Amino acid sequence: MGYLSENYEAYLATASELLTVEGMIEAADTLKSSVPKIEETGYDNWNGGTTIWTIYLRMEPSAYARLGANREALEEQIYNRLKQVLEQYTEDWFSVKIVPEVKPRPEWRQGANDISRVVRQNIFDGLRIDSVVWSGRLEEVEFLERLYDLTTLPSGDTRYSDAAGDIWQHRVNNPQDWDDDWIYGDARFNLLQGSSDLFLRFLCETVHPVVRPDRNEALKLVQQFNDQLRQEGWHLVEQEKIAGRPRFVGRRIQNSSVRSVSRARTVADALDAGWMQKEIERLENAVDRDPALAIGTAKELVETCCKSILSKRGVSVARNDDLPKLTKALAKELKLVPEGISDEAKGATTIRLILQNLSVMTQHLAELRGLYGSGHGRDGKHRGLEPRHARLAVGAAVAFIDFVTETYHQRYATKDE
C-alpha cells in the first residue's frame, strides 16, 4: 500500500466528494480540515499475508474535542467511503482514526491572564538593546538570592552542588563562559515560560532601590516594562518608598484610567515634554494607591502642558502664574475663545459652551486639588477621596491637554519646529 503515501490527496479528495454528495457534510469537513498520517500498524500471516494500515486524521485539539461522542460515527463514515476508493487498488486492511494533533505549544502552561512569551521576550530584548545590567549594582548571585533559594536549584557543572556555585564559576571566576543575558533563557529560572508572578517579581527586583539606586534610571525602565505589560493587562506600580526611592510591585490593570494615561503619554510625546512623562508615571502609580496624589499630579500635568505650548509659541509666563491664568493665556494664544465661531455656524452655542468649559474645568481641578489633593495639611477628621474621584480628575485633565495639544499641532506645530 506504499502507493497510498504517494497519492493520498487524490484518494482523500475522492472520499470527501462522496461524503458531500451523500449529505455527510460534517464527515467531509473533518476530512478536509485534518492532517493525514498513514502508518503500518500490523501484519496478518493468514492467507499469504495482509498488511494492516491505520490512517490517522490529525486535528487541532480544540476541534477534536468539539466532535465529542460523534467521532466514532464520523470515523465509520469516512472509512466506508475510503474503502470504496481503495479496494480497487489493494486487498490490504486499513482503519481510520481521528486523533488530536500533538505539537509543541510553548505557552501551554500559561492561563488566560498570564503574560505571554512574546511580551516577556520583547522586554528582555529591550534590556539587551540598551545593554542594561539586570542585576544592577549587585553581584548576580546576590541578586538572585533575593528571589530564589539557589541551594535548591541544580548545577550544570558537576564540580558544584547547586546553582549558586555554578553561577559563581561561570560568571565571576570565568565571566567569559556565559553571556551577560544568560538568565533570560536559563531553564532553572524559566523566566520566559514560568509563572507571571515570578516574572513580575524579577522585573520589580531589577528596579529595586537596592539594585538600582538611580531613581531616574529605575523610572525609565519601569516605563519601558509597562509599555509592554499594558498590552496584556498588567503594569508595575509603586507600592512604597525606600530612602525616598520607589519600590514597585506587579498589578493587574483594573480600571479605565489606563486609557487616559496612555493618551496622556501620546500627548507628551507630541510635545516632546520629558517632564510630563515623569508626571504621567507618578499619576499612573497613584490613581488607586493615592487618589490625593493623583489629583494633585493631574493639575500639575495641565500646568506643564500649558507652559510647554506657550513656551513653544514664544509666550513668556511668570513663575508664579496659577492654573487659571495659564489656561486663559493658552486659550488666547490658540484662539480657543468663542469669538472664533460665527453665530451662523451650526451648533455655535454648544461649541462655545464646550470651549468655555474646557478652560473653566482647569479652575475646578485646581480647586479640587486644594480641597482634597496632595500638598496641604489636614485635620484628624478629614476624609480623602476615592480612586473613582481621582479617575474623574485624570480623565478631565487628559481631555483638556489632548484638545489643546491637537489644536496647537494643527495650527502652529510645523511653523514652530
Q: Tens digit of pLDDT for each residue in 332-366?
A: 888 775 555 555 555 556 655 665 666 566 566 65
Judge whether residue 417 has pLDDT over 70: no
pLDDT digits (tens, 9 = 90+) for 91-121: 888 899 999 988 776 555 555 558 899 999 9
Judge whether residue 137 has pLDDT over 90: yes
Checking 25-34 for CB contacts under 8 A at 24+ apart, the result is 26/70, 26/74, 27/74, 27/77, 27/78, 30/57, 30/59, 30/67, 30/74, 30/78, 30/98, 31/57, 31/78, 33/59, 33/63, 34/58, 34/59, 34/98
Q: What is the mean pLDDT of residues 137-148?
A: 95
Report the range of poorest mean pLDDT among 39-43, 65-69, 101-105, 224-228. 101-105
Q: What is the mean pLDDT of residues 315-333?
A: 83
Q: pLDDT at position 185, please?
A: 93
| β partners of residue 245 | 242
Indicate the residue type of 61. Answer: P
- What is the number of alpha carbons within 13 Å of residue 386 lying toward its C-beta? 1
Judge whether residue 7 has pLDDT over 80: no
Copy the grid coordinates of residue 408. Answer: 496647537
Burial (0-12, 13-18, 19+ Cβ within 10 Å), 285: buried
- Which residues lie closer than 8 Å to 65 by C-beta, 6 or more apart? 100
CB 321 within 8 A of CB 306: no
Q: pLDDT at position 379, please?
A: 47
Closest CA to 336 of 367, 315, 357, 319: 357
Q: pLDDT at position 378, please?
A: 46
Q: Which of 32-36, 346-350, 377-381, 388-392 has the highest mean pLDDT?
A: 32-36
Helix H or strand E encompassing 204: helix 196-206
Report the range of poorest mean pLDDT among 15-29, 105-119, 130-144, 320-334. 105-119
Copy the grid coordinates of residue 209. Answer: 532601590
Which of residues 201 and 93 earns the better pLDDT score? 201
Q: What is the mean pLDDT of residues 73-97?
A: 90
Q: pLDDT at position 208, please?
A: 96
Which of residues 79 and 365 earns the better pLDDT score? 79
Q: What is the mean pLDDT of residues 13-28?
A: 92
pLDDT digits (tens, 9 = 90+) for 181-198: 999 999 999 999 888 999
Burial (0-12, 13-18, 19+ Cβ within 10 Å), 200: buried
CB 14 within 8 A of CB 22: no
Question: In angstroms, rounded to a whole number, what is the distance separating the alpha carbons of residues 374 and 230?
Answer: 27
Alpha-carbon torsion (151, 152, 156, 160), positive or negative: positive
Question: In angstroms, rounded to a whole number, what is the distance separating the alpha carbons of residues 65 and 305?
Answer: 56
Report the range of poorest mean pLDDT among 166-170, 314-318, 378-382, 412-416. 378-382
Question: In angstroms, rounded to a whole number, what is the distance separating the alpha carbons of residues 293 and 314?
Answer: 31
pLDDT digits (tens, 9 = 90+) for 248-304: 999 887 654 455 555 555 555 555 555 566 666 666 667 767 777 777 777 887 888
